[in-house]
A and B are shown apart, each in its own frame.
Chain A
Amino acid sequence: GAGVSQSPRYKVAKRGQDVALRCDPISGHVSLFWYQQALGQGPEFLTYFQNEAQLDKSGLPSDRFFAERPEGSVSTLKIQRTQQEDSAVYLCASSLEGLQTREAFFGQGTRLTVV
């Protein structure tokens, strides 16, 4: 597609439920990023992939958060046993190369509400 696509756009989960958020990056983009954006805040880094390799997961807030990109294209962010504090917009971004030369393009995000 022309841009980064995320699904679902909206997700309501009951506390304790597992969720999976999908990201389709721009075709051919090597770098893929996940960010978490709480209401009224700037995006906070979660994790980074270069192709299928997860090179940085320092921003994942707990071991309930897990991300994968098995074939170097589509990525899934999984949150186990969701908690209310997980409610946020989850943004995916991709970049043709690294950020030292290229900008990142963001998807519309998935708004997760945990009730």
Chain B
Amino acid sequence: AQSVAQPEDQVNVAEGNPLTVKCTYSVSGNPYLFWYVQYPNRGLQFLLKYITGDNLVKGSYGFEAEFNKSQTSFHLKKPSALVSDSALYFCAVRDIDYNKLIFGAGTRLAVHP
């Protein structure tokens, strides 16, 4: 069965520093991977996706993610964190057999001034 794991419940980073939010996946076949962000009392907002092509995917708000097939990882990164980046981040994988997303448990990112 397809799954994703987000090993960190929370990530703390100082404003201006680079940030990484980790995600590993388990799929049969080629993975379709997504990152979403959730602000308080808001729905999930799409950040970026990997379907095929370059391993480094660029997305919204300066975020990018690196697909690593050998490590089965899809970590979210940003070179310089902003306080406004503080939110809940979800990694997701498309179920190979069915047209649905399987989400990780989420990682709370806290960016401190």
Contact = CB atoms under 8 A, between A and B. Distances in A.
Contacts of A58: 98
B44 A100 contact: no
A62 interface: no
B41 A108 contact: yes
B96 to A, nearest CB: 10
Give the bracket for the number of chain B residues in contact with chain A.
20 to 34
A110 to B, nearest CB: 10
Bin the interface of chain A by size.
20 to 34
Contacts of A59: 100
Interface stretch (B11-19, B45-53, B69-77, B78-86): B45-53
B99 A99 contact: yes
B101 interface: yes
Interface in B84-111: 90, 94, 98-106
Interface in A1-40: 4, 6, 31, 33, 35, 40
A73 B98 CA distance: 21
Contacts of A91: 43-44
B27 to A, nearest CB: 13
B51 A45 contact: no
Nearest to B42: A108
Contact of A100 (B32, B46, B104, B105): B32
A108 B43 contact: yes
A106 B1 CA distance: 24
A72 interface: no
Nearest to B48: A103
Contacts of B104: 42
Given A56-B100, A106-B44, A106-B46, 11 more contacts: A33-B101, A42-B104, A45-B101, A48-B100, A56-B98, A56-B99, A58-B98, A99-B32, A99-B94, A101-B51, A106-B43
